[in-house]
Amino acid sequence: MMACGETLKDQDFVEKVLRTLSSRFDYVVAAIEESKDFVEMKLDELQCSLEAHEQRIKEREIDRSSEQALLAQSGKRFNNGS
C-alpha cells in the first residue's frame, strides 16, 4: 500500500493489529479500545501492552502447573499415609 503512494498512520496499523489478534486477547483489545485514544497510540505502545499481557499469561500458566504438581505430590503423600 505504501509503495502505491498511500500513507498509513499508526492508528491504521494499531487497528489492523487489534483486529487480527486471537480470541485470548479479546479482553485486552476491549480494554485498549476503551481506555486509549487510537489517534495518539503508537504501534510501539501497542506492542509493549500486548507483550506484557502475553508475559502475564505465561506466568499464570507456570503458576498453575506448579500448583498442580504440588497438589499431586501432596495427594500421593496423603493417600500413602492412610
pLDDT tens, residue by residue, 33-73:
888 676 688 889 989 989 998 898 888 888 777 666 666 66
Return the pLDDT at 72: 63
* H/E run at residue 72: helix 43-81
Return the axis-axis angle of helices 26-35 and 10-20, rounded to nearest 10°.
150
Q: What is the DSSP string of 5-57?
A: T----HHHHHHHHHHHS-GGGHHHHHHHHHHS-TTT--HHHHHHHHHHHHHHH
